[in-house]
Every structure is written in structure tokens, then in C-alpha cells.
Structure 1
Amino acid sequence: MEFNCLKFMCLLQLLSSLILVLASSIEASVPSTASAEIISRFQHYLQINTAQPNPHYYEAVDFLISQAKSLSLESHTLEFVQGKPLLLLKWPGSTPDLPSILLYSHTDVVPSEHHKWVYPPFSAHIDDDGNIYARGSQDMKCVGMQYVEAVRRLKASGFQPLRSIYLAFAPDEEIGGEDGAQKFAQSEIFDQLNVGVVLDEGLASPGENYSAFYAERSPWWLTIKATGAPGHGAKLYDNTAMENLLKSIESIRRFRASQFDMIKGGLMAEGEVVSVNMVFLKAGTPSPTGFVMNLQPSEAEAGFDIRVPPTADPESLEKRIAEEWAPASRNMTFSFMHQVTVYDKSGNRLITKTDSSNPWWTLFEDAIQKAGGKLGKPEIFPAATDSHHFRKRGLPAIGFSPMANTPILLHDHNEDLQCNGQLRLTDINFDLLFLNQDEYLKGIEIYESIIKAFATYVENGGNKESKAEL
């Protein structure tokens, strides 16, 4: 009897321990009321359809203004082009003469093929594991709302910035940013902000280290056109339009392969090489049933999306285009539909320094580490963002989206943010992708640390808050 009682007591103690562990696990898995409200606000922003070509800009702006009012932030809506509002929020600093901080984001997103999504792209659906499906979850509504939530936390803590902090929500980045960020950066209004540093979007990182970008590749959209005498499809001619264009395409293909080989060999990162991709090919004589098959065309044209890093030699590349890819000697011409410079207004490369000569970078690194994050080697952004409009003014601009352990899916179907260990892009099933709310919440803590560090920095005097703590 005594043995049985002892056994019963042991079992009861074990059961109690299991209940405590289970309760602790449930508590950890269920978000707090505050976290739930944060996620709800994020969902609301994601559910606003701001997809090009018909984004609901004003609906997004109205929502963001409501958030600004709840935080007692000043708000101004600017329209450099009618129908494309840029919202500017301000948190005044106690020392407004110091250069300000610009937290930049864009409200528009790319279009979606709805039938290829597991859940509707503007539903912001959350599954049982806390994974959020939505267009804009990576690019870049997550960052815009993380700014807002970081400011909310700082204000709740009683923090008062020395520097004024601006939050900009711009239109049309996904179609070039010409009516939003470009006009904003060139305006007298922007001059009056006295901006000292800009934070803009980056990319997710599949590993545990956050990715940060100090430059980006400039887009050159090149069209090459070849002309030649038309002729019968059965006869061999020299210097036909198609023959000359094919020679150019082959030359470009070899150059592309040489750049790609450097990436494959681990010699250079994707953002460090010149990428070239053919995006259209136009030739032939149309007929009611397709094309005339026994006639060689007199014209042939191809388009290429070229991305040029600021570390490349643009003059050498233009010479290659003129002499090798589209030589006049082969009856060829070329033109740029879009060509973004790699130099700022002073003739310097569009590069933000990532060493001790740039105090903003040092503050940025330290703030991430202080918040428990890890930063990888700084990179060149492989595509284009609105950062180049600010770098062209000579301003330091850092591209950063705090999404670690996350596949890069900013324009893919089921755009998401995933917290899934050391997942590689080659391992991804594109029908099973999601945004994890824990990664989003962690990003808010990271931005809180960065904003706090930036807003208390005094040139030639270090960080005011750090000195006070000492």
C-alpha cells in the first residue's frame, strides 16, 4: 500500500510537470494582445490593393494617416504628380538643427496572378503556424509598417529623439519611381528636411544573418536594331538583318556567360557583376496566319535588360555595345529606353561607405547587434530601388529589410516571409510559401534599436545616450 501511494505521488508530480511545460508552450505559441494588434495592423495594410497598374494609393494613405494620428505624428501628403500621393510623417527632434533621419518605403506592389496563389494575394491570410500570405509582405509593406511600430514602441517608452525622424511612403517605385521618389529627392521640400541618412528596402536572407546593401545596380534597358535588304527565304545573303542580329546576340550571350561564371565560381556576388538578359525579340513579316515564311525581313530588333554595378566601368561597357554588340559597320543601331547613371551629382560612384569613415554604418551595425541580430557582409543590391535617387544627392543610403531565415520572394507567387532555418532557394516548393509573424515582430525590435541609435547620434560627440549611460 505504501509503495502504491508513493508511485501515485510520483505520477502526480510528473503529470504536474508536464502540465506546466504544456502551459508554457501554449503561452509561448499564442501571441500577446499587443503582438496580435501589431499583426492586425500589418494585415490591414497588406489587404489594401496597391498593385500596379491601378494601385489604391489614397486608401493606403488614409490608413497610414490614421496610424500617424494615433502616434501624434505630423503628416503631410505631397503630390508631385496628380493621383500619386507621397505621405510624409514627422517626429520632431529636440535638436532640429541636426540632420534628420529618413525612413523610406513605397506603398505600391507588383501585380499578381491570383490563380497561382495558395491564398488570395490581398487576403493577408494567417495559417495555423502564424504564416502570413500577402503581396507586399516582403516588398515592402513589411518595412513601412515596421517603421511605424518601432516608432510606436519608442514613443511608449518615453524616448525623445534629438534628430527629427521622417517616415516617407512613396508611390510608383515598382514602375521606376519617377513621379514619387525622384521628384521628392529633387524638390525644395526635400532640401528643407535636411536629411542626413536614408534607410530603404533590402532583401530577405535565407540564412541567419541579415542582408544589408550599400549600393545597387543601375538599370540600362537597351534596344538593338539591325537592318538589311529583304530577300527570298531560299537565298543566302551577306549582312541580312537577322544574321547580324544573331551575331550580336551570340556576342552578348558569351559576355553574359563570363559574368555568370564568376558568380557560379564564387568569385563575385550577383550584385557585383554586369547582368544581361534578353527580354524581347522582334522580327519577321506578319501574315494573316502568322509570318511570311519565304521572306527574309529587312529589320530585326532585340531588347536587353542590363544591370550595371557602380563598381563597373560604364564607359567601357558603352564602348563594347557600340563596337561589338551593335556596330554600325553591320548596319546596326542601338538606343537606351532607360539608362541610370552610376555617379552622383559630384561625379562619385553611387556607393554608401561601409567602414569607420561612415558613422551611420557603424551605428547601424552596432544597433543590430545590440538588438540580438546578426549582419552579414554588406552587398550590392542586384536590382534597382529608390535608394539611388538619394545617393545621387550624395546622401548615405542603406538598403535593409530585417528578414533572416527567409527565402527571397519579393515578386514571386505567394510572396512571403518565412522563418524556416537554413532553407535554400533550391529547396523551395513555390506552392507552400508564407510569411512568419515572428520574423516580422523581431524586425520591429531591430528597427527600434536602429532608430534609437541614429536619432541620438551627435557628430564629433558620439552617441549621446551611450555617454549618458557611462
Structure 2
Amino acid sequence: MELNRRSLLLLLLLSLLALILLVSSAAAAAAAADVHDDDDSIVARFQRYLRINTAQPSPDYAQSTDFLLSEAKSLALEGRAVEFVPGKPVVLLRWPGSDPSLPSVLLNSHTDVQPAEDGKWSHPPFAARADAEGRIYARGSQDMKCVGMQYLEAIRRLKRSGFAPLRDVYLSFVPDEEIGGHDGAAKLAESDEFRAMNVGIVLDEGLASPMEYYRAFYGERCPWWLVIKATGAPGHGAKLYDNTAMENLLKSIESVRRFRASQFNLVKAGLKAEGEVISVNMVFLKAGTPSPTGFVMNLQPSEAEAGFDVRVPPTADPKALMTRIAEEWAPISRNMTFEFKQKVSPHDALGNPILTATDSSNPWWALLEEAVKKANGKLGSPEIFPASTDARYFRDLGLPAIGFSPMANTPVLLHDHNEFLSKTEYLRGIEIYESIIKAYASHAGPPGDGGSKDEL
């Protein structure tokens, strides 16, 4: 009987040891697998986000919101969706810091993307397929679902490493950037929720770089969407006379063309960067008298319009441009008028250019440079963003905002056919953000103010 008891006890001990070894082996295998296939799982999550069709004018915000809140839950981040405008959710995530009294770090991205002409892509724009070279083709791969997911993946790595932030880190996923951001970032920036976040620095989107270095932006050109209209008496298509609507509009178009060429020549000559000149591009021409088969061919129209997408850098003189528009492009003397569909001032209420400092007065810029360098990346000279982003709504509040999308060795393809980002650059960008977020979230700031807006 005693022998049977000992045998049974020995059997139980052996079984327990085998179970422990099995559990340990499974845990080790799981950890090894987690390390081994981490890149694949990261890329797969990016592809899932890209496959959600959030193209304007009918973005699927419901699906993207569910996806982002699910990702937040998997990372144990606080998450909620706020609708300042019905049907247009702003997803807000929070990684609490140990000292919430310090101004927080805001990582902003937008969920909507530009529409895509399916037939003009080599891969379906919402399939997020990767080719043999590892290029992921999808609308939003550069603009800017990559950045939103890189924020999340960088935080995932930091959490796994045991890093704990000093400052609160917020992530905002906003709608409507591609149509102006008025119901997204603009509403967020003016909200009580935003004031409660106590933001001290904002990171937003930048541009890809065809070179080996990353690009960073400290300001942006502001949109002046200009419509010029000419009027005149209608006339027979065979009659020659002065001051027809079409003739006057063509004179204006030629004047605009000459100005555009003068600005573009500065860029071509290397004297100025693209973001430092005033860009003007005609986007529509509206004239003629419609007929059932097209247009009446023997009638000169009494009205003609042209639309221009004008972008004005903070370093330009808005008053001088307004004078040029009124006196050269749309003079009353030629029966011309003009209006702006959108006109954003590149200067603040005091007339100062709206720019984020890139010198010693702004510690966030130095932290960015050092963090990129620490991650073995290279940062180019600071630039003015050639178009407009949601960062302007935060700069308008006096906050420092930096545009940065870590995509080196990559052609700029935002809003283009066959937009893509390589797996290599996507994964490399996560490492860059890991370094930046760690530096920003650890920054204590000068004694006494902890990095307040006054310091910046």
C-alpha cells in the first residue's frame, strides 16, 4: 500500500513537472513567435486600417472608429469617440503620464482620405496589397493612415519595453481633413475637451522624402481659393470687339500665368523651396452658353469665370497679393470681380507669421532632432509645408505644431494614383516615432514651468 502511494505521488510529481515544462515551453514559444512574426502582424494591422474605405465624400467613419477603439483597448489606452458634428467622430486616446500637471503631447492624424479612380491604379486602392518588392498600394498609405498606425505601434513597443511616460500622451484621429478639417480638427481645437487636455506640443502630418533624410515642417501655406469673374455684353461669334467677357478673363489668366511662372522659376533655380513661394494653379474654367449638343458656337458669352487654388506662405506679404489681385488679376476697369471660396490668413491677429520656432526657444524642435538622430535617422532642414494641414488649427492657438511623416526614400504620392509605402519604410518609421514619443513624453521641461506654452 505504501509503495502504491509513493508510486502515485511520484507519478503526480512527474505529471506536474511535465505540465510546468509544457506551459513554460508554450510561453517561450509564444514569446519567440511574438518577436519572430512581429513585423508581419504590424504590417497586417496597417493593411486592415487601409482597407477601411474612408474616402471622401462618403467616408466609413463608423468602421474606422470601431477599429481604432479596438486597437486602443488592445493597448490598454483610454479611448472614446466625440462627435462635435453628428456623423463625424473624433477618436481621442490617452496614455496617462505620471505627472498630468505637465502639458501633454498630442499626436494628431486624420482618418479620411482622398477619393481614388480605381481604373487608373495598378492595384485596387482599398485592397492594401503588397507587391513582390514590399510596396503596399493603398489610398492613405502615405496620407496619412500610416502615421496614425505608426503612433499606435510605437506606443505598443514602448509599453512592452516597460517605458512609463511622464507627460500624458494623447492621440487624436480626426475626420474631414481632406475637405478642410472644419468639422474635425477645427472643432476639436476650439472645444472644452481640448482645453482639458492641456496640450503643449502637437505632431501632425508631413510629406514623404525621395531622399534618405526625413522632412519636418514648421509652418504651411494657407489656401486662398479665388474665383475671378468677367462680364460683358453678349455678341455674335463672328464679331470682333473690345472688352468681351472672354477676352477680359483671358487677359487675367495670362497675368496670373506670368506671376505663377515667376514664382516657379525661383523654385527651379533653387533660390526658394516650394513652400516659400506663392503657388497659383487654375482649377476650373466656366464659360459658354450651353446647348443640347454642347455649346452655342456662334454666341460670345456675357459671363466667364475661372477658379484658382492660391497658396500663401507665412513669409509672404498678403496685402501686396491682395493689391495684385484687385489691380492686375480682376480690375474693375475690365468689368471684373473676384471672391474667395476660402481665405485663411498666414498671419496672426498681430500680423506675425504663424510659424513654429525651430531655434533654441522651442525645446520640442531640438528634442525631435535628437530623437531622430538617436534612432539612426537623418532630418533635413526645416520646411514650410506647401499645402495645408490640420496643424494650422493648433498653431492658431499659439501652440507649437510640427509636421512629420517618417517616409524616406519614397516618392511623394499623396492624392496621386498608385499611392504606396514600402513595408521597410513603414516599419522604420515606427522606430523613429518610438524614439520621438519617448523623448517628448519624458521631457520634464525647465524648472518651474514644466514646458508650458509660455516657454515656447
Q: State TM-score, norm by structure 1.
A: 0.86
Displacement after TM superposition at 1:346 (Å): 5.1
CA contact (8 A) 1:344 1:394 kept: no
Q: For residues 376-413 of structure 1, what are the alpha-carbon distances to aligned partners after superposition, in whole Å with 9 as ceiling and x for unaligned? A: 11111111111111111111110000010001011111
Q: For residues 102-145 of structure 1, what are the alpha-carbon distances to aligned partners after superposition, in whole Å with 9 as ceiling and x for unaligned? A: 00001111111111222211111123332211111101010000
Displacement after TM superposition at 1:32 (Å): 2.9
Equivalent position SS for 2:99: coil
For residues 286-301 of structure 1, the aligned pairs below 5 Å read 286-301=290-305
CA contact (8 A) 1:170 1:181 kept: yes
2-structure distance, mates of 1:410, 1:450: 24
CA contact (8 A) 1:344 1:393 kept: no
Q: Work out which of the residue numbers 419, 427, 435 in structure 2 matches 1:441.
A: 427
1-structure distance, mates of 2:254, 2:118: 37
Q: For residues 283-302 of structure 1, what are the alpha-carbon distances to aligned partners after superposition, in whole Å with 9 as ceiling and x for unaligned? A: 11222222222222111111
2-structure distance, mates of 1:393, 1:352: 11
Q: Work out which of the residue numbers 187, 193, 199 in structure 1 matches 2:197.
A: 193
For residues 64-463 of structure 1, the aligned pairs below 5 Å read 64-344=68-348, 347-417=351-421, 436-461=422-447
Q: For residues 5-58 of structure 1, what are the alpha-carbon distances to aligned partners after superposition, in whole Å with 9 as ceiling and x for unaligned? A: xxxxxxxxxxxxxxxxxxxxxxxxxx9311111111111111111111111111
Q: For residues 213-262 of structure 1, what are the alpha-carbon distances to aligned partners after superposition, in whole Å with 9 as ceiling and x for unaligned? A: 11111011100011111122222222111111111111111101100110
CA contact (8 A) 1:345 1:393 kept: no
Equivalent position SS for 1:235: coil
2-structure distance, mates of 1:397, 1:219: 18
Displacement after TM superposition at 1:461 (Å): 4.8
Equivalent position SS for 1:85: strand
Going from structure 1 to structure 2, the CA distance change for 1:68 and 1:345 (only over 3 Å counts) comes to farther
2-structure distance, mates of 1:120, 1:371: 34
Unaligned runs of at least 5 residues, structure 1 = 1-30, 418-435, 465-470
Q: Which residue in the other structure is 2:29 paired with? A: none
Equivalent position SS for 2:183: helix
Equivalent position SS for 1:178: coil
Q: Which residue in the other structure is 1:3 paired with? A: none
Q: Which residue in the other structure is 1:52 paired with? A: 56
2-structure distance, mates of 1:458, 1:368: 19
Displacement after TM superposition at 1:360 (Å): 0.4
Q: Percent identity?
A: 71
Q: For residues 343-375 of structure 1, what are the alpha-carbon distances to aligned partners after superposition, in whole Å with 9 as ceiling and x for unaligned? A: 235543111111111110000000000000000
Matching residue's letter, 1:388: R
Matching residue's letter, 1:438: T
1-structure distance, mates of 2:68, 2:346: 33
Unaligned runs of at least 5 residues, structure 2 = 1-34, 451-456
Equivalent position SS for 2:46: helix
2-structure distance, mates of 1:412, 1:243: 34
Stretch moving more, 108-117 or 340-349? 340-349
Runs of 4+ in 1 over 3 A off after TM superposition: 344-347
2-structure distance, mates of 1:439, 1:64: 22
Displacement after TM superposition at 1:192 (Å): 1.0
1-structure distance, mates of 2:204, 2:349: 20
2-structure distance, mates of 1:395, 1:344: 12
Stretch moving more, 233-242 or 108-117? 233-242
Going from structure 1 to structure 2, the CA distance change for 1:447 and 1:47 (only over 3 Å counts) comes to same
CA contact (8 A) 1:116 1:413 kept: yes
1-structure distance, mates of 2:178, 2:328: 32
2-structure distance, mates of 1:124, 1:238: 56
Q: Which residue in the other structure is 1:16 paired with? A: none
1-structure distance, mates of 2:265, 2:91: 43
Equivalent position SS for 1:213: strand
1-structure distance, mates of 2:50, 2:64: 9
1-structure distance, mates of 2:233, 2:136: 57
Q: State TM-score, norm by structure 2.
A: 0.89
2-structure distance, mates of 1:444, 1:345: 38
2-structure distance, mates of 1:407, 1:132: 13
Matching residue's letter, 1:150: A
2-structure distance, mates of 1:193, 1:254: 47
Stretch moving more, 345-354 or 108-117? 345-354
Matching residue's letter, 2:194: F
Matching residue's letter, 1:452: K
Matching residue's letter, 1:225: K
Equivalent position SS for 1:79: strand
Q: Which residue in the other structure is 1:11 paired with? A: none
CA contact (8 A) 1:92 1:164 kept: yes
1-structure distance, mates of 2:37, 2:252: 61
2-structure distance, mates of 1:46, 1:252: 39
CA contact (8 A) 1:197 1:360 kept: yes
CA contact (8 A) 1:371 1:449 kept: yes
